[in-house]
Amino acid sequence: QQQVKQSPQSLIVQKGGISIINCAYENTAFDYFPWYQQFPGKGPALLIAIRPDVSEKKEGRFTISFNKSAKQFSLHIMDSQPGDSATYFCAANQAGTALIFGKGTTLSVSS
Amino acid sequence: DAGVIQSPRHEVTEMGQEVTLRCKPISGHNSLFWYRQTMMRGLELLIYFNNNVPIDDSGMPEDRFSAKMPNASFSTLKIQPSEPRDSAVYFCASSPDGSYEQYFGPGTRLTVT
């Protein structure tokens, strides 16, 4: 049973555009929703995370939007740059437990 | 801070051989996680430890896989005997006690021929 569903599988965006990746979760006990960025040959790196008590969190060009009633959250990358080209994973968990990951989205930002 | 350290970075072995992957978590982190990444299944938990004690090993595929954490600064994941379907990238991650944040190592790419 896939507890975190991520879409799209791949995304191509022009430089300067907005990249949007969506995730949906099933387990209402989850209370932490991070996004990880992974470059080829590297480990996933924590990008930004949100708790369910807020609906939005922004860090620089990266924003998480969270809809608790719909059990959905999304990552928005503003002014996308070629250096943002990577694979992005959403995840969810409860305190002290392992992360449940989405299947990933490969983002390509064309210059 | 050196981050999570994993070794080896690459391992190529023949089917039936024993493989040992190693991980050094970030100093002071109490939780350690082993994940496996494949194209088909994505990132999946194998096992995690808290204060050196295994808490959840529900992701360990079968008895061929075993993991230990003899002290707070070292963990191993062993596969014996290895099979081609074990080919994947294995990641170790660590987390401070009480924190949600997990920090990943660079991974070990395992190829079993």
Condensed to tens digits (0 to 9), the pLDDT of residues B74-109 reads 999 999 999 999 999 999 999 998 788 999 999 999
- State whether A34 and B48 contact (CB < 8 Å): no
The answer for A45, left when phi > 0, alpha when psi is -120 to 50, beta otherwise, is beta
- State whether B107 and A42 contact (CB < 8 Å): yes
Q: Where residue B2 falls among pLDDT bands split at 50, 70, 90? A: confident
Q: In chain B, which among 58-97 make CB contacts under 8 A with chain A?
A: 59, 91, 93
Using a CB-CB distance cutoff of 8 angstroms, which residues of chain B are in contact with residue A45?
Answer: 104
**Residue A93 DSSP class:** B
Q: Burial letters for B31-47: b for 16+ Cβ neighbours within 10 Å, e otherwise?
A: bbbbbbbeeeebbbbbb
Average pLDDT over residues A3-15: 96
Contacts of A72 (CB under 8 A, 6+ apart): A22, A23, A24, A25, A66
Using a CB-CB distance cutoff of 8 angstroms, which residues of chain B are in contact with residue A102?
Answer: 42
Q: How far is CA A66 from the centre of its chain?
A: 11
Neighbours of A86 (CB within 10 A): 21
pLDDT for the residue A111: 86
- Comparing A92-101, A102-111, B37-46, B70-79, which segment has the lowest mean pLDDT? A92-101
Strand-pair category, A45-50 with A33-38: antiparallel
Average pLDDT over residues B35-43: 94
Q: Where residue B1 falls among pLDDT bands split at 50, 70, 90? A: low
Using a CB-CB distance cutoff of 8 angstroms, which residues of chain A are in contact with residue B103?
Answer: 46
Q: Which residue of B has its CA nearest to A98?
A: B45
